[in-house]
A = this chain, B = another copy of it.
Amino acid sequence: MGNPRIAIIGGGIRGRIFAETTHHHPAADLIAICEPDPGRAQQLAGELGVPAHDSIEALLATGAQIDAVVVATPDFAHEKPAIAALEAGLDLLVEKPLATTSAEAERIMAAAERGGGRIVVGFENRWNPLFAAVRRQLRADGHALVSQRALLQDTVFVPTRMLGWAALSSPAWFLMPHSLDMATWLSRAEPVEVYARGVKRVLPSLGVDTWDRVSASFAMSDGSILDLDSGWVQPLGKPSVFEFRFEVETEADAFVLDIDDTGVRRATAERTLGVGPLPHDHRGRPQGVAADMMRDFLDAVGGADLDLPGAEHGLLITRAIEAVHRSLETGAVQQITS
């Protein structure tokens, strides 16, 4: 039996990482890029020597043999390609959040039931070795959690220049799935209730009608509390386009993770910037958490037995972020059903 055959749906920043990682993987074959923008599709597909299609439906219509697909379309546009892939019986890696409504998430899961493929949701921070080290220590100690608190925010570059579809998402949809997934993965507890507040002022004035910032206070199933803040209006002069600080407090210990701070800084005549690893290593291979996650997905498609975040968890995160938005709109505390 040969290498698993992989198609990437979405040729943006993330799709490129997944495509390049597959291209470099010794035990997987990239077979197509599906991307509606013809220029972007040709560029990426041409670089990697595979055909481009404008949609997964077009690819499936060719009758090509495929084992798995990655859906790296915008937040709100996961359902259609995911269902197409799953109904074809393919394995699926889908970017977080699984979907931006729980109804969509449930339809995706129903398609997996029908087709028999597996769903992995791209909660890539699980591949950050620092989060993993903290999790290992928490498990080893076994102390009950008291609280978690996280700030994950972007500069205004992300909603105004990087994403064309920010008004159809929010800092809660785009960022909180990361911090909420970490909170559940570190604690083994689930969010059961949320109260949220937000501000919607700066981005609307820039023509992007969504929340500037969202603060969410969660009750967790183990009796601990969780505070998540996410925003999209930090100034462009920050050392990094994102800021991610995560704090965990147990009955005995306290952990602080400054994920965006690599300890390396560069000052130029204009400003000081953080320096992180390059997107590719010295041998041209993609590096970073998204590439590492993708390699595990490829190995899992190839038969490896790995513990990957699945659809049930993806649905829970979607329900929790839905509840955040309901609380923002109603001003009332919201229950989260699991």
Give A contacts to B, CB under 8 Å: 26, 129-130, 132-134, 136-137, 144, 146-147, 149, 151, 195, 197-199, 201-202, 212-213, 215, 217, 219, 223-225, 227, 229, 231, 233-239, 247, 249, 251-272, 275-278, 281-283, 287, 296, 306-307, 331-333
The CA of A306 and the CA of B271, in the complex, are separated in Å by 35
Q: Which 4 A-B pairs have the closest CB atoms?
A: A129-B277, A271-B271, A258-B263, A261-B263
Q: B134, B225, B262: which contacts A199 (Cβ < 8 A)?
A: B225
Contact flag A195-B333 (CB < 8 Å), given A215-B217, A257-B263 = yes
Among residues of B, the one whose C-beta sits closest to the C-beta of A149 is B229
Instruction: Give A256 Cβ to nearest chain B Cβ, in Å.
Output: 5
**What B residues does A278 contact at CB under 8 A?**
129, 132-133, 136
The CA of A255 and the CA of B282, in the complex, are separated in Å by 20
The CA of A269 and the CA of B206, in the complex, are separated in Å by 15
**What B residues does A260 contact at CB under 8 A?**
263
Pull 16 A–B residue pairs with CB atoms less than 8 Å apart, ordered by A: A129-B287, A130-B275, A133-B276, A134-B266, A134-B275, A137-B266, A227-B227, A235-B269, A237-B269, A238-B272, A239-B272, A253-B266, A257-B263, A257-B264, A261-B261, A283-B296
Q: B151, B195, B236: which contacts A269 (Cβ < 8 A)?
A: B236
Among residues of B, the one whose C-beta sits closest to the C-beta of A197 is B225
| B267 x A146 contact (CB < 8 A) | no
Q: B195, B236, B253, B272: which contacts A217 (Cβ < 8 A)?
A: B195
The CA of A287 and the CA of B130, in the complex, are separated in Å by 12
Q: B134, B144, B231, B270: which contacts A271 (Cβ < 8 A)?
A: B270
Among residues of B, the one whose C-beta sits closest to the C-beta of A278 is B133
**What B residues does A133 contact at CB under 8 A?**
264, 275-278
The CA of A259 and the CA of B199, in the complex, are separated in Å by 26
The CA of A271 and the CA of B240, in the complex, are separated in Å by 11
The CA of A199 and the CA of B147, in the complex, are separated in Å by 8
| A225 x B215 contact (CB < 8 A) | yes
Contact flag A253-B235 (CB < 8 Å), given A144-B201, A215-B225 = yes
The CA of A48 and the CA of B268, in the complex, are separated in Å by 40
The CA of A195 and the CA of B195, in the complex, are separated in Å by 8
Q: B199, B237, B307: which contacts A268 (Cβ < 8 A)?
A: B237
Q: B201, B256, B264, B272: which contacts A134 (Cβ < 8 A)?
A: B264
Interface centre among A133, A134, A265, A266 (most CB of B within 10 A): A266
Among residues of B, the one whose C-beta sits closest to the C-beta of A141 is B268
Among residues of B, the one whose C-beta sits closest to the C-beta of A212 is B146
**What B residues does A333 contact at CB under 8 A?**
195, 331-333
Contact flag A229-B227 (CB < 8 Å), given A133-B276, A199-B147 = yes
The CA of A247 and the CA of B296, in the complex, are separated in Å by 36
The CA of A271 and the CA of B198, in the complex, are separated in Å by 26
The CA of A197 and the CA of B224, in the complex, are separated in Å by 10
